[in-house]
Structure 1
Amino acid sequence: MELDWWYFRRLYEGLLDHDDGVDGCRAYLSSQRPVTVDHLAELASLRNRERIPAGGYTGHDEQLWRIMKLYGLSRVSDYLIERFCGQDEPGATGEPAGTSGLGGRALHTEFFAAIGLTPFEHADAFSPFHHEVFAVVQDPSAAAVTLEEVLWPGLWFGELLFSRAGVRVRAPRHLMDATVATTSTLYFTFRRGSRPTADLSHGWGSNSQWRTCFPRFYSDQEGLHLNWDGKADIGGDAPAPRAGWAEHEMEPLDQRRELLLHRCFVRDPLPSDEDDRFPYDDRLSLLTAEWPLRPEAIVQVP
């Protein structure tokens, strides 16, 4: 099959047109499943981390077009998560947040498992690499961030993290502030109804936005690799300033690591410019993803 990088855009737009509830979405996605399987199979080279050419991929590299094509499928995931997952769970303050049937929550996992992705929960311990914090139980007696419940599973595409599992955690305020962790801007994400989001498609036109690259986070024998296509390795003590930035203009290194690890800020005080950061150039490799981040977990990977 010739690479048709528009297909997942059409799948997303068709889902919006056919959304008259869980049954309507399920019927539409089921009808598209065989073709979606074929299109996802085209992207098999993204299942494993590869060494990126010096200077990154160019518009002539088919791998870049595969990465952009996978971004379109992530829009389908974001829509189903926003529409059906976690809506009946307590929010950051512990107040009820509406109702949603379990059938809707299952639809996300059901569809993506059927087209070849692998669901996971990573339910043994909280890991910001594997888990998206949806709700926080603030507990001043707690000594660490612990996992309370997995609200919806995450998804693997081979060794590539396609989406994180949504979770509720218990935490002391000095490690994770409930309001900050659940309402600050969630980066590398197109949409979440419960909070502001930011990804590289925002602000572009109706066609240009689909040339966005899927953010590649990998787990393999060498560790956990956050935003593998990022140009600046923030694992060292003094990463090079971004192009066009003076050294004094750079955000503190601990904030850059927090933002890349959680894809949002989780501690108070929240930086005043938290909604205007640019984590898309940063990259970090770890042996384990814990919070707070342990310096000895950071590894340098070419």
Structure 2
Amino acid sequence: MSLSAILLKLTLKIFHRHNAAPVCKKLPSDAVFQTIGLQAMHISQAPYRELFDAIASYQGTNLYADLLHPWCANAIAVKAWLNHFAANSRSSIPNASIEGLWQLYALSRVNDLLLSRLRDENAENASTKVEISNSNYHEFMRSLGLEVAISREFSPFYHEIVEVMQDKQQHAEITVVAILWDALMLGNMMFSRVGTCLAGGIANINKSIAETSTLYWTYQRPNRRCQDSSYGWGSNSQWRTSFRRDYKIDGNIYYNVDGKNNLNLGQSQDEELELLEQIELVKHRCFITVAKPDDDLFPYSDRYYQTV
């Protein structure tokens, strides 16, 4: 039996055992993590890790046809779990098991890798790197149960900052100039924000800060310093990282809902940052106006909500 078949069989067993709505529960036993030799990784993450490694080492010319489409066709349990998770987040924020957060994180690592390989449709010359078209990227993600989200009005919930055009007017509002890749939602949960070129006055967004400050809750982006809570762990242990969950429900936006430190209470728990600086970081996942050292912060416990 091939490795893919073994992984699928094991994942199906896990899915049928945990087919109820996600709830917080005890961590699984060590034996679960040691299955098929992937120490410190939950078995539900194994299909994503296999796909991640396959994409990273792929040298062919049709990433979608050779890897993504066949993988998705066999990922029956993965798609069932994602659709079940999405259905439970249409009108409220569901509880999530630690294994569920790990599984979402594993998919986000695959997504980060695919974003780095998106084809630049405006490029004049063909690239030598392995690429995927936007249409194939959308098709793959939609087949897993994710939906493309469009918002032309700037919001840190939707928009990840890639490039900034500094407006001459100091207090000019932040506006969306161009879309580099699309946002993906899983139910009402933001899975992957839209990559954007923005414009705005320096009082609202500082180009030199917003383009280069550390992007937290993110494993990798081309030409951008990133960091998530997996950094510093081993190649297998780092996969046991919880996915950050943001939701938009009934006109309210909830940032990092699993954080323990509620910034809405009006008190800073950080010795290095003021309250408004913490709020800026948890909303945008990077600094956009704060001119402070940003490469060794730990914002992962902060949460915040606002009405829009």
- Letter of the 1:266 partner, please give it: I
- Letter of the 1:40 partner, please give it: K
- CA displacement at 1:14 relative to structure 2: 1.5
- CA displacement at 1:191 relative to structure 2: 0.4
Are 2:307 and 1:278 aligned?
A: no
Structure-1 separation of matches of 2:222 and 2:240: 23
Using structure 1 for the length normalisation, give the TM-score: 0.78
Q: 1:30 to 1:104 in 2, by over 3 A?
A: same
Structure-2 separation of matches of 1:284 and 1:37: 35
The SS at the match of 1:68 is: helix
> What residue number does 2:48 align with?
8
Q: Is the 1:68–1:214 Cα contact (8 Å) retained in structure 2?
A: yes
The SS at the match of 1:42 is: helix
- CA displacement at 1:51 relative to structure 2: 6.1
Partner deviation per Cα, 1:105-149 (whole Å, 9 max, x = no partner): 4333231012211001212x1111111011111111362111112
- CA displacement at 1:199 relative to structure 2: 0.5
> What residue number does 2:17 align with?
none
The SS at the match of 2:177 is: strand
> Which residues of 2 match residues 168-187 of structure 1 at below 5 A?
168-187=197-216
The SS at the match of 2:101 is: helix
> What residue number does 1:140 align with?
168
Unpaired segments ≥5 residues, structure 1: 58-62, 90-95, 243-248, 289-302
Are 2:102 and 1:68 aligned?
A: yes
> What residue number does 1:293 align with?
none
> What residue number does 1:40 align with?
79
Among 118, 133, 147, the alignment partner of 2:147 is 118
> What residue number does 2:284 align with?
262
Question: How many pairs were matched up?
Answer: 261
- Letter of the 2:112 partner, please give it: D
Mean alpha-carbon deviation: is it higher for 186-195 or for 6-15?
A: 6-15
Q: Is the 2:63–2:131 Cα contact (8 Å) retained in structure 1?
A: no
- Letter of the 2:13 partner, please give it: E
- CA displacement at 1:45 relative to structure 2: 5.2
Using structure 2 for the length normalisation, give the TM-score: 0.77
> Which residues of 2 match residues 1-302 of structure 1 at below 5 A?
1-3=12-14, 4-5=43-44, 6-21=46-61, 23-44=62-83, 46-47=85-86, 48=89, 49-50=92-93, 63-84=97-118, 104-123=133-152, 125-141=153-169, 143-221=172-250, 223-239=252-268, 241=269, 249-267=271-289, 270-272=291-293, 274-288=294-308
Q: 1:277 to 1:68 in 2, by over 3 A?
A: same
Partner deviation per Cα, 1:154-209 (whole Å, 9 max, x = no partner): 00111111100111111112211112111111001010011010001111012111
- CA displacement at 1:103 relative to structure 2: 5.6
Structure-1 separation of matches of 2:119 and 2:217: 18
> What residue number does 1:92 align with?
none
Mean alpha-carbon deviation: is it higher for 215-224 or for 126-135?
A: 215-224
Q: Is the 1:145–1:175 Cα contact (8 Å) retained in structure 2?
A: yes
Structure-2 separation of matches of 1:86 and 1:215: 28
Q: 1:51 to 1:103 in 2, by over 3 A?
A: closer
Q: 1:179 to 1:85 in 2, by over 3 A?
A: farther
The SS at the match of 1:41 is: helix
Q: 1:103 to 1:17 in 2, by over 3 A?
A: closer
Structure-1 separation of matches of 2:184 and 2:164: 22
Structure-2 separation of matches of 1:235 and 1:85: 40
Unpaired segments ≥5 residues, structure 2: 1-11, 15-42
